[in-house]
Structure 1
Amino acid sequence: MGLIAVYPGTFDPLTNGHLDLIKRSQHLCDKVIVGVAANPKKRPFFTLEERVALIQHEIMNHNLTERVEVIGFESLLVEFARKCNAQILIRGMRAVADFEFEFQLASMNRTLAPEVESVFLMPGEKFSFVSSTLVKEVAKLNGDISRFVTPNVLKALQERLKLINEGVDVPD
């Protein structure tokens, strides 16, 4: 198959910064697997299945299906990478503040799976401050997040917030 990369994350929700890195990653390798981590300790806004579906929609919408695949996982990242036969882990780094955590994570991953290399990409400047956490916070306070997410993700966020405001029990 050639060079396979895993771009892991919670993607809760997928932002335009994530999409930027997915598009750019596919030019570095033969296949990119967007690994959607269950990560319940982060208390995701959307279920794993919903996040996978939202990302798959955007992959199809941006004609990336030939070289990009979306898979949810609940295991250790390096085990998921091995299962996917990946040689590379793509990690996004927005600012210097991300460096220490990413350095620790890359060191741990290298110790656990020396055959898998971490590659760091910076999103485009217009996305350098955007995070899923900030997007959710702004959305919760009725701020305009349309510049930071795709129309489909925006709609999903608005629908989820409506349910939350109506008191419907949804993942948080």
Structure 2
Amino acid sequence: MKKIGFSGTLDPITNGHMWVIGEARSIADEVVVFLSENSTKQPKFSAEQRKAIIAESCAERGWDNVQVQIVKSDYTARVAKKHGIDYLVRGIRTTADFDYENLIQQTNVDVIGGAKTLFVMPPRDLGSVSSSFVKALEGPVGWNWTMKNFVPAPAYKAWIISWLRKEWDALWQGAAADPAAAANADAWFERLTGPGAYGGPERHYHNLDHLVHGLAEIRTWSANVGPARRDADIVRAAFWFHDAVYDHGAGSGLSNEEASARQWLASGLGPDISADVAALIRATDHFQSAGVAHPLKETMLSVDLAILGQAEDVYRHYTQGIRAEYRHISDDRYALQRGQVLTYLRHKAEAGTLFGDPFFAEQYNAQAILNMSDEIAVL
């Protein structure tokens, strides 16, 4: 078969969709993804954004015989037929899927004279994966780690950037009334999520995942503890900037936290909370935090350490990221130094002093001890 089509809204494209495209490639020389732009739906990503995500996801796998075409206000099967494509491929996960797709197939062929449909069944591990399923994951602490298992990397990155943008805009919502302030906030969002900060290719732990996880922790803490809005904003702003500079002590000779605090002060954001945010960032510096007082210090440090008390799969992501960030250190030296750090932190957890904020201590202390003990045993 020369060409075959695959259609859908694909908002976002999932690993299930990618599997169907892969199957289509096995039976045709060329695959055309017909991306539906339905005016009655409100997709998370625009048609052009979805097109770019799909193209990047296919290119990442070396699939150079897949093209993407946006379909506007027309039947996909009819558009496919006009392009010389006689068959569309669709994934069938359940009997309900079959009943629905069979009805659509009859309409495509008998009513509009469009392309016929070939049905393929995905493997069991992808049987429940859909765009709706993925969308439902967003929100709770750790949602990003779960989503990462079900979508290709370009779709994942686009999704967390979109989520981070909402968090950022909520923090600076007052800036919308001032065009200059809004532009400044836009520029700093691009800077912080870009290659020079959390979005950098060399950021293996202190990266966008870290940023999403920490902000989700703060959101949950705020919802349950009910701090003053100003206090919650101080913690959020401090977390956005606290690891913005991360260079293993190279360059200026300043600690990462001190350099990040200075970057925050230079940003011009949040003038009413500026000094408090800078002090809180400095309080996360383990080399000087003992001498830095701040009423939100224990909360901020607990947010940063919360990763230690996550489920086993999330903790594994964390340990892999940490090792990658310190790949310049030999295995023997890393094992020694990492072991010393973990032993110290486990001792604090066993003494009940690892998480200074009671909200985080109650949730994570016991699991943190188990996780660190397991990692020490492996080291």
With normalisation by structure 2, the TM-score equals 0.42
Provide the residue aligned with 1:96 in structure 2: 95
Provide the residue aligned with 1:71 in structure 2: 69
C-alpha distance in 1, partners of 2:37/2:19? 22
Contact 2:108 2:114 in 1 (8 A): no
SS at structure 1 position matched to 2:90? strand
SS at structure 2 position matched to 1:64? coil
Provide the residue aligned with 2:342 in structure 1: none
C-alpha distance in 1, partners of 2:130/2:39? 18
C-alpha distance in 2, partners of 1:107/1:55? 28
Inter-CA distance 44–116: structure 2 relative to 1 (3 Å threshold) = same
- The number of equivalent residue pairs is 166
Contact 1:31 1:68 in 2 (8 A): yes
Structure whose alpha-carbon radius of gyration is higher: 2
Inter-CA distance 61–135: structure 2 relative to 1 (3 Å threshold) = same
Identity, % of aligned pairs?
27
Contact 1:78 1:112 in 2 (8 A): no
Q: CA deviation at 1:28?
A: 0.9
Q: CA deviation at 1:52?
A: 0.2
Contact 2:78 2:114 in 1 (8 A): no
Q: CA deviation at 1:150?
A: 1.6
Provide the residue aligned with 1:121 in structure 2: 120
Q: Deviations over 1:131-161 (max 9, x none)?
A: 1011011024452211101222111111112
Provide the residue aligned with 1:3 in structure 2: 2
C-alpha distance in 1, partners of 2:109/2:140? 40
- Structure with bigger strand share is 1
Is 2:82 the partner of 1:83?
Answer: yes
C-alpha distance in 1, partners of 2:148/2:86? 35
Gaps of 5+ in 2: 174-379
Provide the residue aligned with 2:157 in structure 1: 155
Is 2:60 the partner of 1:58?
Answer: no
- Structure with bigger helix share is 2
Contact 1:35 1:72 in 2 (8 A): yes
Contact 2:80 2:114 in 1 (8 A): no
Moved over 6 A (4+): none
C-alpha distance in 2, partners of 1:21/1:115? 20
Residue correspondence of structure 1 range 129-168 to structure 2 within 5 A? 129-142=128-141, 143=143, 144-165=146-167, 166=169
C-alpha distance in 2, partners of 1:136/1:115? 31
CA-based RMSD of the aligned residues comes to 1.7
Gaps of 5+ in 1: none
Is 2:45 the partner of 1:43?
Answer: no
Q: CA deviation at 1:10?
A: 0.5
